[in-house]
Structure 1
Amino acid sequence: MTSHLLTGIGELVTHDPRFDGPLLDAALVAEDGCVAWAGPAADAPAADRRTDLAGAAVVPGFVDSHTHLVFAGDRAAEFEARMAGTPYTGGGIATTVAATRSASDVALRARLAALAAEARAQGTTTLEIKSGYGLDVATEERLLRLAREVTVETTFLGAHVVPHGIERADYVALVTGPMLAACAPYARWADVFCEPASPVAFDGDEARVVLLAARSAGLGLRVHGNQLGPGPGAQLAVELGAASVDHCTYLSAGDVDALSGSDTVATLLPGVEFSTRSPYPDARRLLDAGVEVALASDCNPGTCFSTSMPLMIALAVREMRMTVAEALRAATLGGAHALRRDDVGHLRLGARADLAVLDAPSHRHLAYRPGVPIARGLTL
């Protein structure tokens, strides 16, 4: 076995219940890519390699459990229009679909690689990537095949919106039939945009049909829900045992109660509210009710073209009344729970040695220095 000692860690956040909060003047040993020891630097064992971080803080690598990184083109003009007052309805997705269908594998792969590298440069070590910009069998399969080259956390989102020129019932039949059959081999998850407030998204009955078909095909479930208005997404996610319901801006008391008694994670995407001038989710309400909360970027060309998980942490602290420690946990361990992973999002013994090294003395600087590139991903 090959071991690597990181020492000179000014502050080490592990999410390990053995420790009462962050460790100061700490060290960590990894063996063959997994955490083998963590504790005070003075007690660190010998290792084959040694790196002194000279007082930098170390936290678990960020787990971005909601992204749409395989696409072509951009929607900068749409963003500019929203900043001038045009509301978001989901209709702009068609622009990205047209660009993505016409793009080559080479172009899509290059964009995907650039965005994945950009995320890692800011501390993200685990990514989920959705399809959803093909909306036909061949392109959806292609997008998932490309995403699988980057991550095992791939999500089939054929039920993103109903494309122009096809009846709703016919499209649901396509998604749950030939499209699902073609895409399932490349996907771990299936998702649906359950949003009755949008004319192009799916209502509760349609979403149920999609999710049940995906579950029968062996895929885990995720839900886009309650983003644009009240709706059945959150409770449908809980009922069907989905790993997460994402957005969660408009939740009723019943939605919160259902989530608090379930294993479904509420994934919050504050970059979307920042980029659409929409109300932020009430994270404090969810946390106080005992709901498991994750933070993710939702990086996509229409409503949040950012891969920066540190930005999401800063927004959660500034706009959603989360403490820095709560936001960091949501961006690491919460995201891991949203992907039903127990090997990432923390630095307990046996975890993957996926780290974010901060050019700062404390994790507090993730919110204290918004927009400054102080984090970088490191896998030992």
Structure 2
Amino acid sequence: MPSEAILNIGMLATMDEGEGVMGLRRDAAVVIEDGRVAWVGASDDAPAADASFDAAGAAVIPGFVDSHTHAVFAGDRAAEFDARMSGARYTAGGIRSTVAATRAASDAELEAHARRLLDEALRQGTTTAEIKSGYGLDVATETRLLEVAARLTDEVTFLGAHVVAPELADHRADYVDLVAGPMLDAAAPLARWIDVFCEEGAFDVAETREILEAGRAAGLGLRLHANQLTMSGAAALGVEMGAASIDHCTFLSDADVDALAGSGTVATFVPGAEFSTRQPYPRVERLRDAGVTWALASDCNPGSSYTTSMPFCIALAVREMGATPAEAIRAATAGGAAALRRTDVGRITVGARADLVLLDAPDPVHLAYRPGVPLVSRVWRDGVTASRWEKRAS
């Protein structure tokens, strides 16, 4: 693969730990070789490369790392959204309507729809995405969803414990046994992670612990939907069990924040869900003060956050959550990488994957300053200009 130098970058956000929140460099250049970042420095000092691209003073940031999506599903819940906007309360129960549509869809239909969503995300700067199952709720369909997800990304999460399957609604213990037994046996070869929705209307703390312990014994890393609707105790459980990330975190106690601060667990916020459900937005001030690592993700799903736009989530975090633009952009890149325990994405440093986003703007702050405007003008993924989503080599 020929090398390429990206020259005359007005502001380069490297996310280098030693250079401020975003690791900003001005009048910078990046050299890409064999799909990796080979050099970063001043544009005037850039070494020769086989090809060059003139950024003409525009800003460049790392590709977004979306660490929480439910991109493999069928159907649509626009009527549910309409009802919520008319005053209906959000509950976890709407998931079952997506389960019915997903079970009825073919593998080809599911994959085609997921690819459309990922293409959409790519056009908005997302270069790494996690995908969960969770809309099958039986062994056969959960396996199908994981197989589809595994054709799209290495970051595959088994979420059989999304809600209790409708046919076992009166037999919760049997469903927990199914998830932690035969369903997990089928899922483990296909997934990297296991996740549980620990919340009112889904699974309680004891059920969540049982399922996560089974997943860990099967060799899967732990993730957790936690504290979205209530102070459920899920966040504390996730930290105790060493989960890579606890997601939603809408309601965190001071004790939860303290526990996160002393752990390797990332708090992942999904403000698209608050936007869509009219829940209160979480705030980042306590996490900032405590030194907690936090991330932003889209939570792309048909019920509570039907968006693929990480720039939209950045704008929400700045406007509604108390984040600075620099903090929000870092959370959507390096923060998402930390939530997936990845060091090769979410930053523009030597040896990292060459996932770069050129903005039609002089400063990354424009992502929050100009909400809703399509500012992504070019995306490099593994050093190649990308316009369609493909699973990449590990």
Tell me which interval the TM-score lies in, with the shorter structure as reference length: over 0.9
Q: Distance in 2 between matches of 1:163 and 1:141?
A: 15
Match of 2:174 among 170, 173, 179: 170
TM-score by length of 2: 0.94
Q: Distance in 2 between matches of 1:73 and 1:293?
A: 31
Query: Shift of residue 18 of structure 1?
Result: 5.2
Equivalent residue letter for 2:236: Q
| Matched position secondary structure for 1:92 | helix
Match of 1:193 among 188, 191, 197: 197
Aligned residues: CA RMSD: 1.0
Aligned partner of 2:390 in structure 1 is: none
Aligned partner of 1:33 in structure 2 is: 35
Seq. identity, % = 65
Query: Shift of residue 19 of structure 1?
Result: 4.1
Q: Distance in 1 between matches of 2:356 and 2:347?
A: 9
Q: Distance in 1 between matches of 2:320 and 2:12?
A: 26
- 1:268-301, Cα deviation, whole Å (9 max, x unpaired): 0001001111101121211211111000000000
Aligned partner of 1:64 in structure 2 is: 66
1:287 aligns to 2:292 (yes or no): no
Q: Distance in 1 between matches of 2:260 and 2:114?
A: 33
Aligned partner of 2:389 in structure 1 is: none
Query: Shift of residue 22 of structure 1?
Result: 1.2
Q: Distance in 1 between matches of 2:17 and 2:343?
A: 14
TM-score by length of 1: 0.98
Aligned partner of 2:224 in structure 1 is: 223
Query: Shift of residue 233 of structure 1?
Result: 0.9
- 1:47-78, Cα deviation, whole Å (9 max, x unpaired): 01111122221001000000000000000000
| Matched position secondary structure for 1:257 | helix
Equivalent residue letter for 2:13: V
- 1:239-278, Cα deviation, whole Å (9 max, x unpaired): 1110000000111111111111000000000010011111
Partners of 1:123 and 1:378 within 8 A in 2? no
| Matched position secondary structure for 2:275 | helix
Equivalent residue letter for 1:242: A
| Matched position secondary structure for 2:61 | strand
Q: Distance in 1 between matches of 2:292 and 2:307?
A: 26
Aligned partner of 2:4 in structure 1 is: 4
Equivalent residue letter for 1:158: G
| Matched position secondary structure for 2:31 | strand
Equivalent residue letter for 2:290: A
1:1-380 aligned within 5 A:
2-17=2-17, 19=19, 21-166=23-168, 167-195=171-199, 198-199=200-201, 201-375=202-376, 376-379=378-381, 380=383
Q: Distance in 1 between matches of 2:273 and 2:76?
A: 16
Q: Distance in 2 between matches of 1:16 and 1:282?
A: 25
Q: Distance in 1 between matches of 2:337 and 2:353?
A: 12
Equivalent residue letter for 2:343: D
Give the paired residue count: 377
Equivalent residue letter for 1:237: G
Q: Distance in 2 between matches of 1:18 and 1:177?
A: 45
Query: Shift of residue 25 of structure 1?
Result: 1.5
Runs (5+) with no aligned partner, structure 2:
384-394
Q: Distance in 1 between matches of 2:291 and 2:69?
A: 25
Moved over 6 A (4+): none
Equivalent residue letter for 2:197: F
Equivalent residue letter for 1:193: F
